[in-house]
Amino acid sequence: MKRIVLFILVLLFSLVCLWFTFRDVEFSTFWATISEKASAWPYFLAAGGVMMLNIIFRGFRYHRILASRPEVGLKRSITMTSIMFLGNAILPFRAGEAIRVFLPFKFYRIPIPTSIAFHGADRIFDMIAILVMMALGLLFGGEGIATEARSQPVSILGSEYTVDQIINNVQRSSLVLLAVGLTGVFLVLFFPEPIKKLIRFFFKPFGETLTGKLTALVDHVHQGVAVFKSPIDFLLAGFWTVLVWWMVILNVQILTSVYGHKLSWAEAGLVVVIVGFAVSAPQAPGYIGPFQIGFKISLMLFGISSEIALAVAWLAWFFQIFPVTLLGFICLFAEGLSMKSFGEAQEVVEHVVEEEHLSP
């Protein structure tokens, strides 16, 4: 019952987001903006191609994370990763996360807690990548934000600021923010017990539930990096992470160039960060709604019109979701699995998590 209620809530949230994306653009205008670029199909193929490469590079990274289990080959690492993103694309609540935790257990009898640690390591690299892109994007891409957007007043704690003032302040402190963020990750990785004690002390007034979740998160992150047995594997995982996110940046640059807008790597990186935050929470299948509104708002910050921003947002959604879904289905059937495997994975992982009080 709880899951049904949550699904209804995330579906309503998606519908609200979709309403906001279309409220200032007529559907006929939106469709005309897309259809007039039908001749740009080579760009669209390239946009879809780099997103397929994104998933393949994620598989390469996962293979380095699993280096301590040599029985897991590169091909299997790629198929498990592709199946995970298939689940995230077509099922609610990011259901693919559970199946990638489950598949190493199904194929190799790797214990679920160990598989959760492998999955946690994978997510740590993405978290660090987002921090780096945000800092570098603000430092090198902030100047590209449109004059109209930069002059808009924003009220913060009773004081009026312009976006321009906020951007300038954040630019000056972006490297400091990055250093603070990476220091936080470092402390969690190497000094988990003192960090957990601090969390219990400072968050005690907020109740046991929040405190327990935060300490479980610390354990999750710490266990993730503990899976690495060699610095070389860690460095190679970092290398593949750069390529993973560079493909997403390229996807944004390719699609915006179709409409004559050439975003720098830093500007496209900021778009990726904003969309990444928009789709990070459990939500409706395919991230539909939050993806579009995050994409549209971020493009409009760089002076792209509402009509074009909306068209690019939907094109980006299609050429990210469709290739990933296609690749995922190919890998699903190649592994002899079916859609029922997602339900099986959810049940097994949830059971182990509840039994051992783990953070999935």
User: How many whole angstroms separate alpha carbon 151 and alpha carbon 154?
Assistant: 9
Burial label, 103 (beta-carbon count in 10 A; 0-12, 13-18, 19+): buried
Cβ contact 317:288 at 8 Å: yes
- pLDDT averaged per 10 residues in sequence order, the chain, 360 residues: 72 84 87 92 95 97 92 96 92 82 93 87 88 85 66 56 63 68 75 86 80 76 71 91 97 96 93 90 80 91 90 94 94 93 87 65
92: DSSP letter:
S
Name the one residue in this structure whose structure tokens are 């968050």: 203
User: How many whole angstroms separate alpha carbon 186 and alpha carbon 191?
Assistant: 8
In the chain, the largest separation of any two C-alpha atoms, in whole Å, equals 61
What is residue 124's predicted lDDT score, i.e. its pLDDT?
84
Mapped onto helix, strand or coil, the DSSP state of residue 229 is: coil
Name the one residue in this structure whose structure tokens are 């978290």: 127
Stated pTM of the model: 0.83
User: How many whole angstroms separate alpha carbon 129 and alpha carbon 61?
Assistant: 13
Which residues are within 8 A (CB) of 312 and not within 5 positions of it... i.e. 6 or more apart?
255, 256, 258, 259, 295, 299, 304
What is residue 160's predicted lDDT score, i.e. its pLDDT?
62
Residue among 274, 280, 318, 320 at smallest CA distance from 300: 274
